[in-house]
Structure 1
């Protein structure tokens, strides 16, 4: 037991007589009671080594205001948030006839006013959730027709997993009736979108709690979902176009990227149970999730990381976010000796970080796997190995590579032309494509033997990658042609091809603009790039990168796709010259 844990108020705190050792925690014995009765129960200190029996509650903190009360059986009052209040009331209701329910919940089981205790408990949070009998993911109270929405969601999930019963990809009037689903004017359908917007799924602590225990129950109010997969699974089905995308909120409605978070939860849970992963993988996969304290983007993952690179990393809320992120980035680079870290380096930052260190606190809708940073089919630096040195004091990264070319033109953002595959945007897109072809024809397109303007144009917005995440062969031009020539009368098969091409262009180029270089190369660069920036190849890198001169050094700007230079061609070019870059 640490001396710090003895610093308690003597008679006004329910934690005074219940100090914790390093392997101890508290559990809550939640007393039964009707809705009109106050929340009551008792706290018990338990040793995790003795494998106590309890359920772990995962819920969104929501507003930090503590407007509700929980009264312990020995007379102490603990102020709790509204979201926690709802969770306890709904959990208590389910156990009215069965006595006390034994729970672990951070809002009560950790003394939130004791910073030392909080840091110690955060450091063993993963263990607390793994050892629980099960984790209860409480996604919020019953409101705004959530019960009816969940009923529809369960039916959709059931229909999808009974192939041959019904094709539900259109959900037209006839198919709804045949499936036994409510008509589209039923309030349950309107209530479905808000279920995908509940922000519990976007919180990093909720996410790590969601994936660390094989036993998981999801609750909305007092409704228990048949399986945790339903909501994340429906998002995945919409993303893959097996269900209508209109079931999900659009980007302007989903400002927290909750849809992407739900999709990430599905893949994370399937990947992590029953094993853990190294923190560099987790940081990438957990990037979409949010935290009120940006340091929790790292600390919330330590319970999963069993990699020897991070033994004893302390949970320390006195260090700055910038110091923590830089320290983690350096460890990742040194461990792997590759540049995969750059895949998390998105196009804008809010923290004062070295340009080469990812800002894990910030996320942009549509920046997940499959986006511009996806490098599965690329190998710009061939089979070369990464070579770098780090000056930790100056926070500088020196990396070997080759200067490719200077950007001399940056065009329109690509995304507005690929919001959808049909309707008015299709006509604007066709005119825009004709304009880009004219740009290409005016370039010196015979550099290194490249002269196919149309081939360059259709491959660039999709980074030469199909919707199946494979390299785009010549035959994929059919998908491009379908999206250029689409009309209301286009056959459904070609409309589907057009939609597939637009989906891929949107995934790869959501935050990109077309560009050309002084040597006459054509490509797509991060939308924050500008004329005068430099395209570089770094040894060991699958991508090409845009950098910005800073005196004798450079600053990292973002990823680049330069057609004809993404498969090791630079190493064979007459102008190839190795040099060392200093990123600041």
Structure 2
């Protein structure tokens, strides 16, 4: 991990890390497998953690963190990484289980409720109400001549990749899908060079994250990657609060 992350080329390996991938991996692995006390930013390669991000093709379809990779340093059990803080999670919905019709109805109702309260106009398309924009954002790229076939293939991918996720809404109006271990007050951020955003959980005694900037790095735990509507192609790099995070070892105050 040291050589992979510090080389400045493979930050996307963090998609295998965090509380969310670890929980899912334990569920899909040998029930006799003992969990390891690993830092949240270190993947447990014993586990089956493959769970692709939401997208209309593959992870290459997004470019959230842009092409410039931020500085990364590793010291003992800590990973120091540059980040742009986009929002703080304020509301989360039920876990998505696409095979359950009642659950799907509940999730859709929550999605439209969150969409109707969005306040950030940069995320909206002209002429659409917020809920319409949310539904159309991913699907817009699928309006091809053979759209019916493409749409069916995309629909199946979207269903599989949405299972075990939750809807979330942020204090600043963002909306998206996150790992089911995400909690209110978790921070949504973008790591330069990563193709998708992440949620992290700052240590509780550090005060308001938005005023810390790079002066005092924030100690946090990696929760997992997420999908943020309207923020998947570098939009957050200019507007986010630039912050340094120390992704630390699993300490007692972090345990869920």
Q: What band does the TM-score fall into relative to the shorter chain?
A: 0.7 to 0.9
Task: Indicate the SS of the match to 1:384.
Answer: coil
- Which residue of structure 1 lines up, in the alignment, with residue 220 of structure 2? 554
- Which residue of structure 1 lines up, in the alignment, with residue 117 of structure 2? 442
Q: Once the two structures are superposed, what CA deviation does each residue of 1:248-295 show, in whole Å capped at 9, x if it has no partner?
A: xxxxxxxxxxxxxxxxxxxxxxxxxxxxxxxxxxxxxxxxxxxxxxxx
Q: CA deviation at 1:555?
A: 0.6
- Give the conservation status (yes or no) of the 8 Å contact 1:553–1:582: yes
- Which residue of structure 2 lines up, in the alignment, with residue 341 of structure 1? 13
- Which residue of structure 1 lines up, in the alignment, with residue 40 of structure 2? 355
- Give the conservation status (yes or no) of the 8 Å contact 1:524–1:561: yes
- Give the conservation status (yes or no) of the 8 Å contact 1:347–1:526: no
Matched, 1:399 2:51: no
- Which residue of structure 1 lines up, in the alignment, with residue 29 of structure 2? none
Segments of 5+ residues of structure 1 without an aligned counterpart are 1-328, 420-424, 467-471, 480-492
- Give the conservation status (yes or no) of the 8 Å contact 1:338–1:385: no
- Which residue of structure 2 lines up, in the alignment, with residue 454 of structure 1? 132
Q: CA deviation at 1:382?
A: 1.9
Moved more, 518-527 or 508-517: 508-517
- Which residue of structure 2 lines up, in the alignment, with residue 384 of structure 1? 68
Higher relative contact order (CA 8 A, sep 6+): 2
Q: Once the two structures are superposed, what CA deviation does each residue of 1:177-208 show, in whole Å capped at 9, x if it has no partner?
A: xxxxxxxxxxxxxxxxxxxxxxxxxxxxxxxx
TM-score, scaled to structure 2: 0.72
Q: Once the two structures are superposed, what CA deviation does each residue of 1:147-193 show, in whole Å capped at 9, x if it has no partner?
A: xxxxxxxxxxxxxxxxxxxxxxxxxxxxxxxxxxxxxxxxxxxxxxx
- Give the conservation status (yes or no) of the 8 Å contact 1:381–1:568: yes
Matched, 1:375 2:59: yes
TM-aligned CA distance change 1:443 to 1:500, over 3 Å: same
Task: Indicate the SS of the match to 1:473.
Answer: helix
Q: CA RMSD in A?
A: 2.9
- Bigger radius of gyration, 1 or 2? 1
TM-score, scaled to structure 1: 0.34
Determine the C-alpha separation between the residues in 2 that align with 1:458 and 1:408: 24
Matched, 1:429 2:111: no
Moved over 6 A (4+): none
Matches within 5 A, 1:238-249: none
The partner residue of 2:229 within 548, 553, 563 is 563
- Which residue of structure 1 lines up, in the alignment, with residue 208 of structure 2? none
Task: Indicate the SS of the match to 1:376.
Answer: helix
- Give the conservation status (yes or no) of the 8 Å contact 1:371–1:507: no
- Which residue of structure 2 lines up, in the alignment, with residue 91 of structure 1? none
TM-aligned CA distance change 1:564 to 1:515, over 3 Å: same
Q: How many residues align?
A: 216
- Give the conservation status (yes or no) of the 8 Å contact 2:8–2:70: no
- Give the conservation status (yes or no) of the 8 Å contact 2:22–2:47: no
- Which residue of structure 2 lines up, in the alignment, with residue 473 of structure 1? 141
Q: Once the two structures are superposed, what CA deviation does each residue of 1:81-109 show, in whole Å capped at 9, x if it has no partner?
A: xxxxxxxxxxxxxxxxxxxxxxxxxxxxx
- Which residue of structure 1 lines up, in the alignment, with residue 251 of structure 2? none
Q: CA deviation at 1:567?
A: 0.6
Segments of 5+ residues of structure 2 without an aligned counterpart are 27-34, 206-217, 249-256
Matched, 1:330 2:2: yes
